[in-house]
Structure 1
Amino acid sequence: MGPSKAAALCLAALLLCGGVVAVAAEAAQAGDNPEAGSGEAAAAAEGGSPDPAKQRPPFIVLRHQDSWVLEGAAIAFLLAFLVNMLIGRRRNERLALAWTAELVAPDGVLDRNFALLGPGDTAAGEVLLKDSMHSFKLWASGRRFCQGMLATLQLVRRQDLLAYTVMALRGQKDVLELEVRMNEGALPPLVLALGQTAILRNMALDSDDIKTFCKRVEVTRDRIPNWPDKLAVWAEHSSIFYDVMGPQLLDLVFSKEAFQPLRPYFRYLHITSEAPEGHKQVIRQSFVLPPAGERTVLPRLLTLACLLIDLMGSYRLSPEQQKRATDARAKRDAEARAGEQDEMRKRAEERRLAKLQEEQERLRKLPPEQREKELAKRQKLQQRRRMNRAGKNM
């Protein structure tokens, strides 16, 4: 729309509003002046004809507003929504900066284990990237066996009043997710997940790798006597879980005594070489951000992520485990190809039926004589094809 059209529309809108206001004012004056009405009635009684312009009804009638409760409530909600958006956004930014300062603290876990904190192509000292009002990312790189680690702060959506209310009712909290992207070939073919039972049950339904390769593993007390209660395990094979869960991991996090202070915060650990999206070979870890007073929780969980990089980068499957993994992936690929072929056959059958229906509709619209000719021609063609097939089979 050009400037002249916009100006014309604005002028027309102003004139229309002026006309409405003028008519409304005249109607209000007519209602407030009873003498004018009595004069018109007297003129009509005397036999005179009233003025047609005065008999014309008003263009718009303004009625008295009895209550403004709904309008006031709507305005109050909008104001509350805007104020909450500003306050919630600033609070999330303060929380993200505070946690980032703790993550990249000098001589901290990440500072000791990674050569570079931040994307490396931004201003000096800028390590935190804002993905949205409630999501912030930190990239760490420069370590063996991996391309780097992506730390994502998934904070509560405090800027959204409705979402914040729903999350508060559900008890959702701020979460830190760590995703280590392993080098190609550094992680052997395996899938392993452990965490809270409800979370793993949902992951088993949503993650194709867990759903395809994993099964529930019941941790036996003779193998790991101090395994924490209510910590579920899904693994491609139980032997892989027992190989990975060595003394270092048990002493750091996964023994009953070590896991007890971490239980309110630990959500899940997911190690996979078959990630359905993005980078294929990843180690994912998710946990609830602890309160400010819990200074020992975050370093231990970060140490767990760094320890897993070294353990999984140097871990190798036994020949039997390698054969099972190869067979499982070959079976998965065969099923995928069979599914694609079935889908192709289904689409081809749908196209054939649609074409046949279209041809029948075309024949139905033809005149009777032409329809008979078409049918006879089609019968001859089918008979010739049958004869050709019979000749090839002889």
Structure 2
Amino acid sequence: MELKSRHDLLSRIYNMVIPCKDEISIEVYINDDAMDHVVFALARKKMAKAMQKELRDLQRFAGSVVQPPNGRKWVAEELAVVSESKEVAGDLITEAVLEQVFGEKSFEKYGKGFISMHVSDQLPGTHKKMILFKFALPDANNMADMTRLVALVPYYIDLVGRYKLSSQARSKTDAARAKAAQEAYKELQSARQEALQKKKTERKKMLEEAEAKLSAEAIRKKEEKERARQMKKAMPKVKMTRGH
């Protein structure tokens, strides 16, 4: 859960002028065998644009905002759908969720606390497959407003767990993931090569510095020897004689 800071005076004043609601993040990790190839996000328009710019999986697999399909109800005007394909978008935006939360009328009434939803099988880190929900928490007296939003969590766990792409869509996602894996491998190789080159450069620099240090020491000794020779040469010669 992410709670906005209220500790300092400036934050308090800011929140009085521009109310800043607390947020709750719900992360659902999905088993590898329980989720098909899905990269999808639904968020308010500004948030969707930011997610698409910042999140690697959306950058790589979901290139554009999905336009409303012809002859079908779609999400409220305030929302944007970013998806790997129209098929995935159409299958995950069901009539049920449009009626309950995401449709034009229902979102106005029940969607105030919705921030974003992100479904992906291509996340970085240990857990590759996950569903992430972000909601803005209402005041304690209005927690009932969260009921329909929270109900989205088990609904999408079940939907994503059962979801299967068509064979045509699956062949495209297979190709996209193979390409991404190849690019990731090249990036890794490049990073390794760069690290190796850096190590070689550092070692060479150390050797050069050590050599320079030795050379400096040798020069110093030579100069000392020369000074000693010059001093000896400059000293007056004293001839000792023995008396009879």
Q: Secondary structure at the match of 1:216?
A: coil
Match of 2:234 in 1: none
Contact 1:269 1:286 in 2 (8 A): yes
Match of 1:328 in 2: 176
Question: Which string of whole-angstrom CA distances, capped at 9 and with x for unpartnered residues, describes residues 165-190 of structure 1?
Answer: 45555532122222222233212121
Q: Which sections of structure 1, spanning at least 5 residues, go unmatched?
A: 1-151, 369-394
Q: Secondary structure at the match of 1:219?
A: coil
Q: 2:77 aligns with which of 223, 229, 232?
A: 229
Contact 2:29 2:129 in 1 (8 A): yes
Contact 1:189 1:325 in 2 (8 A): yes
Give the partner amino acid of 1:274.
Answer: Q
Q: Secondary structure at the match of 1:215?
A: coil
Q: 1:189 aligns with which of 24, 37, 62?
A: 37
CA pair 280-340 structure 1, distance change in 2 beyond 3 A: closer
Instruction: Please give the residue correspondences for 1:13-162 in structure 2 after superposition, counting only pairs within 5 Å.
Output: 152=1, 154-162=2-10
1:258 aligns with 2:99: no
Match of 1:209 in 2: 57
Give the partner amino acid of 2:84.
Answer: E
Q: 1:301 aligns with which of 110, 128, 149?
A: 149
Q: Over aligned residues, Cα RMSD in angstroms?
A: 2.7
Give the partner amino acid of 2:46.
Answer: A
Give the partner amino acid of 2:153.
Answer: A
Q: 1:365 aligns with which of 205, 215, 221?
A: 215
Match of 2:93 in 1: 245
Contact 1:273 1:282 in 2 (8 A): yes
Q: Secondary structure at the match of 1:307?
A: helix
TM-score by length of 1: 0.49
CA pair 340-280 structure 1, distance change in 2 beyond 3 A: closer
CA pair 307-162 structure 1, distance change in 2 beyond 3 A: same
1:269 aligns with 2:117: yes
What CA distance in whole angstroms lies between the structure 1 residues aligned with 2:143 and 2:18?
26
Q: Secondary structure at the match of 2:131?
A: strand
Match of 1:115 in 2: none
Question: Which string of whole-angstrom CA distances, capped at 9 and with x for unpartnered residues, describes residues 228-260 of structure 1?
Answer: 112111111121101221221222112111111
Residue 221 of structure 1: how far off its partner (Å): 4.9
CA pair 350-276 structure 1, distance change in 2 beyond 3 A: closer
Q: Whose Rg is larger?
A: 1
Contact 1:184 1:281 in 2 (8 A): yes
Contact 1:267 1:287 in 2 (8 A): yes
Greater relative contact order structure (CA < 8 Å, 6+ sep): 2
Residue 365 of structure 1: how far off its partner (Å): 2.0
Contact 2:137 2:143 in 1 (8 A): no
TM-score by length of 2: 0.76
Match of 1:290 in 2: 138
Match of 2:192 in 1: 344
